Amino acid sequence: MADLLHVTMGDLLDEVVSRQGDREGVVYPEKNLRWSYRRFREECNRAAKGLMKLGLKKGDHLAIWATNHPEWLVTQFATGKMGAVMITVNTNYRTRELEYLLRQSDTETLILMEEFKGVSYVEMLYEICPELADSEPGQLCSERLPKLKNVIFLGEERQPGMFLWSDLLQMGDHLDDTVLSERQASLHPDDVINMQYTSGTTGFPKGVMLTHNNIINNGRNIAECMKLTPEDRMCIPVPFFHCFGCVLGILACVNAGSTMVPVIQFDPLTVLRTVEAERCTALHGVPTMFIAELNHPQFSSFDLSSLRTGIMAGSNCPMEVMKRVMNDMGASEITIAYGQTESSPVIGQTRTDDPIERRVSTVGKKLPHVEVKIIDPATGEEVETGEQGELCTRGYHVMKGYYRMPEATRQAIDEEGWLHTGDLATLDEEGYLRITGRLKDMIIRGGENIYPREIEEFLYTRPKILDVQIVGVPDEKYGEEVMAFIRPKEGESLTIDEIREYCIGKIARYKIPRYMHLVDAYPMTASGKIQKFKLREQAIQVLGLEVKS
């Protein structure tokens, strides 16, 4: 087991450049962009000096609202070098969510792109910050966003009140390199450098404060689990604003000196083209992404033989999907990772040589230097091996806390430093973790505990079913009943009666979903997580049920 690193983001990049500065570090086929690690560092240094010229100090807050553009990648390491805290903004946010994040986070500088999926980010910002249109760049005084001073636009056309990204780089050219070196040397590995707002599958988003040590070491351990080397080339189609992109993707690559091959915005055809053209050896994605790639009409026309590994995470992986990723895509060493933003994010991961059964039924073993325990949620006592309880974790990877939310932090991290995940899990004799559900997702029907994951896994065995999500809905007699939202495979005819017939005699009668609903898609966060609370809301509406308070 390798020792933990004790370095800052800037030092990490400098160290990689000293080892292999001339190797390809960043490749964007969509932009015809190829940077060596040395050239990548030059861009990061220019942007870091530009931010300092703008007046940003160590610990100041900078938010970035964009898809996986090169400037996003540069900003991650530019802030890492000059010490501003980078706040990642969900690309699906609208005005209310954006205003909440910018206010709650005390953001002083915002970097944003023009639009996403036909929705103008620029217009949304002017809506919540009308003063911007009449401001000089860098001189903003906003009533609703009093801390916000600088707005930087990722585009070529000038926007009222905003700097251009090119302005930032030119500012950096007017600052001496020694000034940046001194700032970088003043940073500490335990400083907060990244803040991510939990994706909002439940409740109000909270700003998770992560340090250099948190995310660098998590990225390093992830890379070791995948056996990444400088020879690897990773296709990264998952969003950077989420830990999946910026830690499991970017920081795993930089730790190993692998080549980053980002996809600006997920599209299955673009991913397949990128893997083939760039001979990618690793591919990341949530199960829905892999399903979209595997089921694309042109899938069989692509040569994906370069693939070896990658990570599937974000939600449960059905056995059939895993088999196809390993066999049809050729990613025989694909891994499963589990965690949450509060743990930087990965707690457990399968290894490249784990059998397929382990990869679909467990989330692997804990990462090096990470502690885990399973407790009885009612008593707080550790349970016996193999028994179900709440998963808790402790170690270098646990966040510093939620920004400006001390009470929420105390609820999440106990006095002994254990992070309470809110996930139900078991731990077997060999150290493999199995996630069995969320404490809040567990369905209690007439006193019987029902775990959605168990029913989902069973229904996946029906060949006509592409995907299934189980939620609990209110019921006067039993307190809760089971409802299944089922996505049939394309071109397959599937009826509720045949699904119900399939269940009889195979799972306990009380676990057979009383309600079933065939759907084409699920409500999801921008990072690809299915929002079960929204499915539950839909179910209550569709079934005309009343929720008793």
pLDDT of residue 201: 41
Cis amide bond preceding 345, omega within 30 = yes
Q: Which of 197, 214, 237 is the last residue of a domain?
A: 197
Q: Name 158's Cβ contacts closer than 8 Å, sequence gap at least 6.
A: 164
Tell whether 237 is covered by a domain: no
Q: Which of 175, 197, 219 is the last residue of a domain?
A: 197
Tell whether 537 is covered by a domain: yes
CATH of the domain at 47: 3.40.50.12780
Output phi, psi for 447, to 5 deg: 90, -10
Tell me the per-residue pLDDT of 430-484, one tens digit each, with 9 for 90 and over: 999 998 877 778 787 877 778 788 899 889 999 999 999 999 999 887 888 999 9
pLDDT of residue 185: 98
Q: Which of 149, 172, 197 is the last residue of a domain?
A: 197
pLDDT of residue 64: 98
Tell whether 76 is covered by a domain: yes
pTM of the model: 0.85
Tell whether 59 is covered by a domain: yes
Q: Name 497's Cβ contacts closer than 8 Å, sequence gap at least 6.
A: none
As a whole number of angstroms, the distance between CA 100 and CA 96 comes to 6
Output phi, psi for 344, to 5 deg: 75, 5
How many domains is the chain partitioned into structurally? 2
Ordered mean pLDDT values, 10 residues apiece, the chain (549 residues): 94 98 98 98 98 98 98 98 97 88 97 95 97 98 97 97 98 97 98 86 77 98 98 97 96 98 98 98 93 96 98 84 96 96 97 94 96 92 96 98 95 97 95 87 79 86 94 87 95 94 87 95 85 90 74
Tell me the per-residue pLDDT of 414-434, one tens digit each, with 9 for 90 and over: 999 999 999 999 999 999 999
As a whole number of angstroms, the distance between CA 371 and CA 541 comes to 42
Strand partners, 332: none
**406-415 contacts at long range (C-beta below 8 A, 24 or more positions apart):** 408/206, 412/342
Residue type, 314: G
Tell whether 300 is covered by a domain: no
CATH of the domain at 449: 3.30.300.30
pLDDT of residue 547: 58
Domain that holds residue 99: 9-197
- Of 126, 159, 161, 160, give the one whose Cα is nearest residue 144: 126
